[in-house]
């Protein structure tokens, strides 16, 4: 039996982050699918927030995708997925935090209000502002690409990858726009698509749209039950 177990949900972008890291490090692991609408009691016992992903490594249990990825990088140092110096590692953590506290809230607001045409334009403006910050203060300052830190692939790339994969869904369902002056983000997105560990976990836009439809239908059914 593999000593690493990832408790996952196929369409979950956060679980995908951990899966990418396991593949990047070529770690032998089992990926165990959890039905989030019918969570077994044993899962609730190991997942304090009831969410996936959760990683089990021998007697260690870790939740929260960013923390799982940092745990894997420390427990299995090769290949290193954080930059070499404390200063650059601090930068990496700042951008991983930016993903959670600025980028994802802008995406979630746009998607959750996708059908409200009065709010769409302001929500898209906010997402464009966030994308331009990533482009100008991140990618254009940290190195020549293709990765966030130049030639060194890192956890920052993994943090954003599942959501950049879904960007076309945001375009189709909520009219999201990747601003024309965000060329470095476009190149970054293309590099992500071509990276084997990311490609191995990826799905197309049709899959994501259908997964989202099913998730919303199950939430509506649960709420009306
Ligand atoms: N901040 C968490 C987010 C994880 C998350 O939201 N997972 C979703 C699936 S994509 C979940 O388990 N939802 C179940 C629920 O909220 O009840 C992380 O980075 O791991």
Q: 139: which DSSP letter?
A: I
CA-proximal residue: ligand 1, atom 1 (nearest): 64
Please report the DSSP string for 144-189 in residue order: SSSBTBBTB--HHHHHHHHHHHTHHHHHHHH-----TT-HHHHHHH
> Could you tell me the distance, in angstroms and rounded to a whole number, from the CA of residue 219 to the centre of ligand 1?
14
* Ligand 1 atom at minimal distance to the Cα of residue 13: 10
Mean pLDDT by 10 residues, the chain (225 residues): 88 98 97 94 94 97 98 98 97 98 98 96 97 97 92 98 98 97 98 98 98 95 90
How high is the pLDDT of residue 132?
Answer: 98
pTM, rounded to two decimals = 0.97
* Ligand 1 atom at minimal distance to the Cα of residue 68: 20
> Could you tell me the distance, in angstroms and rounded to a whole number, from the CA of residue 64 to the centre of ligand 1?
8
Structural domains in the chain plus CATH codes: 4-75 (3.40.30.10), 86-199 (1.20.1050.10)
The span from the CA of 104 to the CA of 170, in Å, is 12
How high is the pLDDT of residue 2?
Answer: 62
> Could you tell me the distance, in angstroms and rounded to a whole number, from the CA of residue 68 to the centre of ligand 1?
13
How high is the pLDDT of residue 49?
Answer: 94
The gap from C-alpha 186 to its chain's centroid, in whole angstroms, comes to 17
């Amino acid at each position: 039996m593999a000593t690493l177990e990832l408790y996952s949900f196929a369409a979950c972008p956060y679980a995908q982050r951990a899966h990418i890291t396991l593949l990047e490090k070529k770690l032998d692991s089992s990926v165990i699918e959890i039905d989030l609408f019918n969570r077994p009691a044993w899962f609730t016992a190991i997942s304090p927030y009831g969410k996936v992903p959760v990683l089990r490594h021998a007697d260690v249990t870790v939740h929260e995708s960013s923390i799982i990825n940092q745990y894997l990088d420390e427990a299995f140092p090769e290949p290193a997925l954080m930059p070499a110096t404390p200063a650059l590692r601090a930068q990496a953590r700042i951008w991983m935090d930016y993903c959670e506290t600025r980028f994802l809230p802008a995406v979630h607001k746009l998607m959750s209000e996708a059908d409200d045409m009065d709010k769409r334009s302001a929500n898209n403006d906010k997402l464009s502002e966030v994308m331009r910050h990533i482009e100008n203060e991140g990618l254009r300052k940290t190195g020549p690409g293709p990765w966030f830190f130049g030639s060194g692939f890192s956890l920052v790339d993994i943090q954003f990858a599942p959501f950049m994969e879904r960007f076309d869904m945001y375009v189709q369902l909520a009219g999201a726009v990747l601003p024309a002056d965000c060329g470095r983000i476009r190149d970054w997105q293309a590099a992500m698509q071509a990276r084997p560990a990311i490609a191995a976990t990826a799905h197309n836009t049709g899959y994501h749209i259908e997964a989202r439809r099913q998730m919303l239908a199950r939430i509506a059914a649960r709420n009306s039950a």
